[in-house]
Structure formats: C-alpha cells, structure tokens
C-alpha cells in the first residue's frame, strides 16, 4: 500500500480562492554571505538524536560541512525487530546528474564532483533508518495487517536539486501507486509521505484489506482514482481525537511494508520543544531536510521580513458545514460526520461519523496563516523554504519549484 500525498484544495466552487501569490524579495540584492548561518556541529559519524542549528538553504552546505556529508549514526533501538544496535547510513555528496531513466529509477549519467559550482544535485544515499530510536513491536501474523518489521537493507538514492527557482505555480506531490512519492527527505535519510493511501471505502469487509481498515469505513490500498483520503496526522492538530489511521511510533512514523517513513514531523533533528517554543538560539528552526524541488524544509519557526521571530502557521481551514459536500467522482460515496449519523443515518454506508478535518478534502487554502499553499515562506534573509505546521497540511503538500523525480521509490522495494 503506497502512503502518498495529493493536495485537494477545494471541493466547493462557491468559495472564492484567495490570492495565493507571495512577493519575493528584490532579486537584485546580493545573496547573503553564508557566514550568517550557524554550521551544524561535527558529529564524528554519530548523528544519534542530533539537534541541528544550520538554516543555510543550500544543500551543498551539508555535503561540504565539518561532517563531510556523513550524517549517519549507530546504536539505535528498533522495536519492530527487537534490536538495539541498528545503524543509520547517510551520506551526502555532490554530483553532476542528467538524463533521468524512469525504468531504472535513476539518472543515466552521474559524475562525482568536488566543485560546488559544477554540481547539479546533492546526492543523498541512505538506508532509510532514522537517527533516533524507532518502530513499534510487531504482533500477530504478518504484523496483523498494519505493522511490519522494518527493512534495514533498503537503500534510497535521492538527488536534491541545487539552485532551485520558485515559480508561481504549485505542483502537487503525485499519488501514483505502486510508485511511492515523497514530500521531502530529512537529513537523517528518511522520507516524508504526509498523506496515505487510506481512504473511505466502507465495502471492505473481508480479505487482506479488511485487516487494514477501521470502523469509520476507511481502508488502505487507495490510488488516485479514489477520494476522501484520511489524514494520518490529524491527531497532531486535534490532540483529543481518536487515531483512526495506521499505527505509528512516537515520531509519527512507521515501517508499513518494511520501509520506515514519516507521516508528520514533530521533533526529529530539532529541539524536542520546537512545536511549542522557538529554538533557544533565537535564530528560527534549522533546516531538517529538503523538498523535491531543492528548497529546504525547516521546523516550526522563522524570522520574518519584519525581523520578528514567528511560528509558521498554516493558511488552510476546514469547511464550515455540518455535512461533507459530495464529490461526483467518488467511488464509494461520502463519509458521514457525527451530525449526519445523528440526523440522517440512513443516507450513508457507514454508521460511524468522523468530524470535519479528518479527510484531505475537508480542507481548503484560505490564506489565513503566514505561509503559502505549499507551506512555504521567505525569511528575513530572503531565503525561501517550507515549514512544519501543527495544522493541515503539516508538511509541504506541493512545491513551487521543479520536482526531481528521484524523491520516491518504485515497487517492489516499496509498497
């Protein structure tokens, strides 16, 4: 089952979309000296539970820093395999890459270079094991449908574009199983797949998919032909809500079908309090990874154009309705809300209602926060990047630059 992300901005044509443009800084200004950024500490190959500090938006800074591109770590506990000596193998180097080969899922021409000016990409090679303790215990036959032992032999090669250019047109992360598409990759080598292949499909009552379904009528195995995709990270926004999606560890990640990946980001590579308090250094949250277009992904905080330290706030809101507006192309009808179950229970295939906000299609971009529709913003230095939020979409659901096709994996390595 691919755990993928596609943005659904609106399903109500009566709502006038807000102006989603964002004014970039004057490009005639000389780019800032890289000395304004604090470098990440030299970690001696032990990146375990590291807290980063660098806000440099250029991926080349992480391939050429004191760590020499080595962001690996060791002596990690993996509860899914019952071991405490796992290691994370992550290396970043500079390459000249061209001619993407879709069947090989790699570039045909890749040349290492030590010259940052010649590099077209920062190449990250990782075994997709994080730099922190992870996983949950596997129970039942085959993980009882949900939790599988995490594969330590999987290798991911990701090409991060250098010198990305922001356009005015967003590109959604594709949902295209069996190809597994990432919304980003962290510096610990683990991919982000914000949304899921978990959608409203109340007719699944038997077979393998029944093990991967819940009482709300949501089941796994959903591709782009489906609608009403449940949000795995909903409980970050609504803490008291019952988790209806898959089983996650304390980092909102799991190893479904073997490969570890995040569905939201709370505290990896940042201070544990980043969700509620700005970093102690007052500089804003560090770069924790990169989006498929090469722009950085930061934590929750940044210094804005007014020189104010602010928390990144999503501009998305839920529709203010009692019931969901039906989608004409939906294959399995419309999921009910609690109001529907109380007032019109016979109109729905499921007898369990989920509140507005549980599905992607419950949200639209209203422009109410300080981020654009891809969760991006410019900081005081004129650097554009994407931010982590505690409300949908949680991580960048789209990019304003050109997406590199290496941000993902194809089956059978991934579900």
Ranking 121-130, 142-151, 286-295, 382-391 by mean pLDDT, the lowest is: 142-151
**Stretch 15-24: mean pLDDT, rounded?**
47
Convert the pLDDT of each residue in 99-148 to its tens digit: 999 888 899 999 999 999 999 999 999 999 999 999 888 776 555 556 67
**Stretch 40-67: mean pLDDT, rounded?**
92
Distance between CA atoms of residues 217 and 359, nearest Å: 12
Q: What are phi and psi of 253, to 5 degrees?
A: -140, 165
What rounded mean pLDDT belongs to the chain? 85
Q: Where are the alpha helices (DSSP H) in 20-166?
A: 60-63
- The strand pairing partners of 363, in sequence order, are 318
- Residue holding tokens 């399995």? 332
Distance between CA atoms of residues 361 and 6, nearest Å: 10
CA-based nearest residue to 379, from 293, 316, 315, 312: 312
Under the banding of pLDDT at 50, 70 and 90, the label for residue 201 is confident
> For the chain, what are the domain ranges?
1-196+231-319+356-415
User: Two tokens at 217?
Assistant: 């009528």
Under the banding of pLDDT at 50, 70 and 90, the label for residue 18 is very low
The one-character DSSP state at 360 is G
pLDDT of residue 176: 75
Under the banding of pLDDT at 50, 70 and 90, the label for residue 214 is confident
User: Two tokens at 181?
Assistant: 């598409």
| CA quadruple 296, 299, 304, 309: dihedral sign | negative
pLDDT above 90 for 45: no
**Stretch 72-92: mean pLDDT, rounded?**
94
Under the banding of pLDDT at 50, 70 and 90, the label for residue 8 is very low
pLDDT above 60 for 39: yes
CA-based nearest residue to 299, from 323, 346, 266, 330: 266
Of 180-184, 191-195, 199-203, 376-380, where does the model show the most confidence? 376-380
pLDDT of residue 25: 45
Instruction: Please compute Rg for the chain using Cα positions.
Output: 21
Q: What are phi and psi of 142, to 5 degrees?
A: 60, 30
What pTM was estimated for this model as a whole?
0.87
CA-based nearest residue to 154, from 235, 226, 260, 72: 260
Convert the pLDDT of each residue in 301-345 to its tens digit: 999 999 999 999 999 999 999 999 999 999 999 999 999 999 999
Q: What are phi and psi of 242, to 5 degrees?
A: -70, 135
* Percentage above 90 pLDDT, the chain: 55
Helix or strand (DSSP H, E) at 85:
strand 83-88
State whether residue 365 is helix, strand or coil: strand
pLDDT of residue 15: 39
């Amino acid at each position: 089952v691919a755990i993928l992300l596609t943005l659904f901005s609106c399903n109500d044509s009566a709502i006038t979309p807000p102006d989603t443009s964002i004014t970039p800084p004057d490009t005639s200004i000389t780019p800032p000296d890289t000395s304004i950024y604090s470098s990440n500490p030299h970690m001696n190959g032990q990146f375990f539970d590291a807290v980063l500090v660098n806000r440099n938006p250029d991926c080349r800074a992480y391939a050429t820093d004191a760590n020499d591109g080595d962001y690996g770590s060791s002596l990690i506990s993996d509860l899914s395999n019952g071991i405490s000596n796992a290691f994370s193998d992550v290396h970043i180097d500079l390459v000249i890459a061209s001619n993407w080969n879709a069947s090989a899922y790699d570039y045909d021409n890749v040349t290492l270079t030590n010259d940052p000016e010649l590099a077209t990409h920062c190449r990250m090679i990782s075994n997709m094991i994080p730099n922190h303790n992870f996983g949950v215990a596997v129970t039942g036959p085959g993980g009882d449908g949900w939790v599988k032992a995490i594969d330590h032999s999987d290798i991911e090669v990701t090409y991060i574009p250098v010198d990305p250019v922001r356009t005015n047109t967003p590109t959604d992360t594709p949902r295209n199983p069996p190809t597994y598409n990432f919304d980003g990759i962290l510096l610990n080598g683990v991919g982000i797949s914000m949304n899921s292949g978990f959608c409203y499909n109340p007719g699944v009552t038997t077979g393998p998919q029944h093990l991967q379904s819940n009482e709300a009528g949501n089941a796994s195995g959903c591709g782009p032909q489906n609608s009403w995709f449940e949000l795995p990270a909903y409980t970050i926004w609504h803490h008291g809500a019952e988790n209806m999606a898959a089983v996650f560890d304390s980092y909102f990640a799991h190893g479904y079908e073997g490969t570890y990946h995040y569905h939201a980001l709370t505290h990896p590579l940042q201070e544990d309090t980043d969700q509620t308090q700005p970093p102690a250094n007052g500089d804003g949250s560090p770069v924790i990874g990169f989006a498929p277009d090469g722009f950085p992904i930061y934590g929750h905080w940044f210094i804005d154009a007014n020189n104010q330290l602010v928390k990144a706030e999503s501009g998305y809101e839920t529709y203010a309705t009692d019931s969901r507006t039906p989608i004409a192309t939906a294959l399995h009808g419309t999921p009910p809300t609690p109001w529907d179950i109380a007032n019109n229970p016979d109109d729905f295939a499921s007898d369990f209602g989920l509140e507005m906000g549980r599905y992607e299609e419950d949200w639209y971009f209203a422009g109410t926060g300080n981020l654009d529709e891809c969760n991006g913003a410019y900081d005081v230095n004129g650097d554009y990047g994407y931010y982590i939020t505690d409300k949908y979409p949680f991580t960048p659901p789209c990019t304003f630059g050109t997406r590199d096709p290496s941000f993902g994996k194809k089956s059978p390595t991934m579900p």
